[in-house]
Each structure stands twice: as C-alpha cells, then as structure tokens.
Chains A and B, each alone.
Chain A
Amino acid sequence: NAGVMQNPRHLVRRRGQEARLRCSPMKGHSHVYWYRQLPEEGLKFMVYLQKENIIDESGMPKERFSAEFPKEGPSILRIQQVVRGDSAAYFCASSTGRDNEQFFGPGTRLTVL
C-alpha cells in the first residue's frame, strides 16, 4: 500500500510565476490536509479538503493561494504570483476521517528566487 505521494519534491520558481503542488493520498483515504513549514518552525495548517469539497480553509492566505481535490486525480495546491516569502516546505497529509492519525507525504520544497 503506497503512502502519501507528493510531487514535485523540489520546485524552483521565480517571483511572479505560478507553483502547482500535487498530492495523492493513501489508498482508501478521502480526507486531505495541506500544511506549510518554514525552517526551524512547526507545521501550519492551511486547508482541509474532501473529494470535491473544501471543508476548512481557515489557514489559507486570502490571495494567491487555492486548493482543490477533484473527484478524479490528486489534490492540487496552487500558488499564483509567488513571492520569496512563499519559500517553504509544503506537506500534504491524508486520513480516513474516522480516526486521529494523519499520514504525511515527503513534502514539496518550494524555493522562490
């Protein structure tokens, strides 16, 4: 059973470009969460999605950031017009929604030049 998969693992963008981060949850998991981690800091919740629905986006910046989890395919976190402050590790996690454990992917390290 494959774990949570994220791609790309490393992404370099110039200021003003768009970044697309993908997350495939574990098989059987329909709940997906995105977190952001800055160096030497904890993970900060961004958004919680179920298939085709955003459940909680209270941690998402109001501008430039969006997320989706379509009926088919991976969850996508999109960052438009990236700025240097967006440089961070972005982790995706998934769960069944029925228990308390979240399974994390290896993360995407975004660097904005």
Chain B
Amino acid sequence: GQSLEQPSEVTAVEGAIVQINCTYQTSGFYGLSWYQQHDGGAPTFLSYNALDGLEETGRFSSFLSRSDSYGYLLLQELQMKDSASYFCAVTGGGNKLTFGTGTQLKVEL
C-alpha cells in the first residue's frame, strides 16, 4: 500500500518563506508531485520530482530525497493568494496519483 504524511495546517505571514514536508511509504515509486487546491476547486499542478534534489519554478521550489522517502515544497515571498491546500502525491506506477491528506496554508498580513 501507499501512505503519505503531511502537516495538516501551516500558518505564515505575507512575505515569509514556508516549507511543507511530505514523507511517504510506497510499494512503488516513480516520482513526487505537488498540487495546489483553492477552496475545494480544481487541483492545479505545481511541480514534479523524479530524481533527488531541488527543482525551482519561480517562487515555488520542490525537493526530493528518495533514500529518505521525503520531499518538501518551499514557497517564498508568500502572498495572500497562496492561502490554499497543498497536496503531495506519489506516482507509483501506471500514472495514477496517490495523494497525501493535504496541508492547509494560511497566509496572514
């Protein structure tokens, strides 16, 4: 089976940096993705890591350590619009995604 753990809630102030961690246990692993979801709307893709290391896309970066079964999403220069739920998801084979339970990020002034 597969399981992914994330903190349920994170709060940070506008302009700050926040890191959302994800640990996983899987029977198969091809890569780790991150998705953002606002108010129960359509999840949108943020990043994908198949290899160890850091991937940077604008204000968002994602890190993966396959040996530690661990990854994180780093959000810099936080803006109010970043308040949302963030999900890590494992691709374990066959293209399907197994999602974590999600981290609700609240950005405050």
Q: Decide if A and B are genuine partners.
A: yes
Q: How far, in whole Å, are A26 and B4 apart by their CA atoms in the complex?
A: 28
A25 to chain B, nearest CB (A): 13
Of the listed stretches A12-20, A68-76, A97-105, name the one at the interface; the rest are far from the partner chain: A97-105
Contacts of A91 in B (CB 8 A): 42-43
Q: Once the chains bind, are B99 and A48 in contact (CB under 8 Å)?
A: no
Tell me if B33 counts as interface (CB < 8 A to partner A): yes
Number of residues of chain B lying within 8 A (CB) of chain A = 23
Tell me if A44 counts as interface (CB < 8 A to partner B): yes
Number of residues of chain A lying within 8 A (CB) of chain B = 29
Chain B residue at smallest Cβ distance from A103: B45
Tell me if A41 counts as interface (CB < 8 A to partner B): yes
Contacts of B31 in A (CB 8 A): 100
**Which residues 33-84 of A have a CB within 8 angstroms of B?**
33, 35, 37, 41-45, 48, 55-56, 58-59
**Which residues 83-99 of A have a CB within 8 angstroms of B?**
89, 91, 93, 95, 97
Known: A56-B96, A100-B48, A102-B97. A89 touches B40 (CB 8 A): yes
Contacts of A31 in B (CB 8 A): 95
Contacts of A45 in B (CB 8 A): 96-99
Binding site for B on A (CB under 8 A): 3-4, 31, 33, 35, 37, 41-45, 48, 55-56, 58-59, 89, 91, 93, 95, 97, 100-107
Binding site for A on B (CB under 8 A): 4, 31, 33, 35, 40-45, 48, 50, 87, 91, 94-102
Q: A43-B99, A103-B45 are in contact. List 10 more A-B contacts (CB 8 A).
A: A33-B97, A37-B40, A41-B101, A42-B102, A43-B43, A59-B96, A91-B42, A100-B31, A104-B44, A107-B41
